[in-house]
Amino acid sequence: MKDTRTLGSFPLRIKVSALVVLALAGLAIATGLSNYFYFRAVLKHEAIGRGKAISGTLASALVEMPDSAIGSTIASVKKEANLAYVEVVGPNGNIIAHTFEGRAPAQETTVLKEAERVQETSIDGNAVIDVPAPVITGSIVHVGLDPGAATTMVLEAQKLLIGITAAALFVFTLLTVFIVARFVDPLRKLTQVARRIVEGDLTQKVEVTTSDEVGELAAAFAQMVEKLKEVLRALQDSVKLLTDAGNELGQSTSEQSQTITRQATALQQTQVTAQEIKQTSLLAAQKAETVLKLTEKADEVSSQGESAIEKSLGGLTDIRAQVDEIAAKIAQLSERTQQIGGITQTVKDLADQSNMLALNAAIDAVRSGEHGKGFAVVAREIRSLADQSIQATNRVREILEDIGGAIRV
C-alpha cells in the first residue's frame, strides 16, 4: 500500500528531532570538509618548508662536495627524507645528477632553470611539488615532494575525525530526542485533554508543570475547566431548585383544583337551595317551618363557600411567593451565565495572545533561516492549540447564550 503521509502528519517530536539532527549532520559535514582542506593546506605548507630546508642544506653541501659523491649523497637524502626525487641541474640547464631510475624523465626547461620559486609540476604523469635551491657555483638543487603523502595523512586523520563525529552525532541525536520529547510532551497532553473536553468530558485534569508559555496556557486552560465545572454544578443546583419549585407548584395547583371543585359543588348546592327556596316561597304559608330550615341550610352552605374562597386566596398568595422565589433563582442563574461569559472571553483573549505570539515566533523563525525552522514548527503547534481553545470557548459561549435565551423566555 502506497504511503500518502505528508510532513505535516508526523508528530512534532519527530519533526523537531529530525530538524536538529539534520542541522547537526550538516554542521558535522561542513566541519569535516573545512578540516580536510585546512589540514591538507597546512601539511602542504609544512612539506614545502621541509623541502626548502633539505634543498638549501644540499645546496650548501654541494659547494665543497666532489662530483663523484653527489649521486650517492642525493640518493641517500631521497631515501631518508622519503622524497619523490632529488636532482642537480647545471648552470646551462643540463641535469648533473638525479635519483630517477635509469634516465631522467623529460621535464620543462623553465622548471629546471627556476632557482627560487616553488612550483607544482608533473613528471611522468605524476603530480609533484618542485622545491629548488640555488648553489653558489651556479647549479640548482631540485627536491621533489609527493603531494599524495600529505593527502594520505589527511585522509587517515579524517577517518578518525569522522568516527568521532559520528559517535558525537549519535549521542547528540539521543539527547535531542529526549529533550524534544520533554518539550513536546506537555503540548501533547494538553491537546488530548482539550479534545476530550470538547467531546464533553470535563473530568479531565490538566497536568502541566512547566513555567513557560505552554505552562501558562495550560494553567489558563485548567482555570477554564474548573469554571466550567462550577457552572455545571450551579446549573444542576438550579435545575434541582426548579424541579422542587415545580413539584410544589403542582401540589398547590392540585390543592387549588380541589378547592375550586368544592366551591363549584357548594355553588351548585346553593343554586339548588335557591330553587327550593323559590318553590317553597309559593307555599310559604303552608310550609313556613320548612322554609326556615332551608334558609338556615343555605346560610350554612354560604359560610362554607366563603371559607373555601378564603382558602383559595391563601393558596394564590403562596403561589405568588413561590413564583417570586423562582424569579430570584432565575436572576441568579442569569448573573452566573454572564460571569461565565466573562471567563470565556478572558480565555479567548489569552488564546488570541498565544496566537499572536505564535505568529511573531513564526516570523522570527523565518528571519532566522534554517536555524529557525524548529521554532516555526513549534509556533504552528501553539497556534493550532490556541485555535482549539478559541473553538472550545465559542462552544461554551453558544451554550451560555442558549441558557440565557431560555431564561429570558
- Asked if residues 189 and 162 have their Cβ atoms less than 8 Å apart, the reply is no
Domains 8-177 and 205-408 share a fold: no
Alpha-carbon distance of 223 to 197, in angstroms, equals 13
Determine the CATH number of domain 8-177. 3.30.450.20
pLDDT 10s digits, 334-357: 777 777 777 777 777 777 777 777
Q: Which residue has the cell 393558596?
A: 315
Structure letter (DSSP) for residue 371 = G
Consecutive H or E run containing 124: none
What is the amino acid identity at position 250?
G
Q: Which three cell numbers stand for residue 159?
A: 577517518
Neighbour-count burial of 96, counting CB atoms closer than 10 A to its CB (0-12 exposed, 13-18 middle, 19+ buried): middle
End-to-end CA gap in the chain: 58
Cα torsion at 171, 174, 178, 183 (round to 10°)? Answer: 90
- Asked if residues 43 and 146 have their Cβ atoms less than 8 Å apart, the reply is no
CA-based max dimension of the chain? 191
Chain centroid to Cα 17, Å, comes to 12
Domain chopping of the chain, boundaries: 8-177, 205-408
pLDDT 10s digits, 294-338: 656 756 765 776 676 677 677 677 777 777 777 777 777 777 777
Q: How do the pLDDT tens digits run along the chain, 409 residues long?
A: 445 455 556 666 677 777 777 887 788 788 777 777 777 777 778 878 888 888 888 888 888 788 778 888 888 888 888 888 889 888 888 888 888 888 888 888 888 888 888 888 888 888 888 889 998 888 898 888 887 776 776 677 777 777 887 887 788 777 877 777 776 777 777 777 777 777 766 666 666 666 666 677 777 777 777 787 788 788 888 888 888 888 888 787 777 778 777 777 776 776 776 576 567 556 655 655 664 566 567 567 657 766 766 776 776 777 777 777 777 777 777 777 777 777 777 777 777 777 777 777 777 777 777 766 676 777 777 777 778 877 877 877 777 777 777 666 5
- Model pTM? 0.38
Asked if the 205-408 domain carries CATH number 1.10.287, the reply is: yes
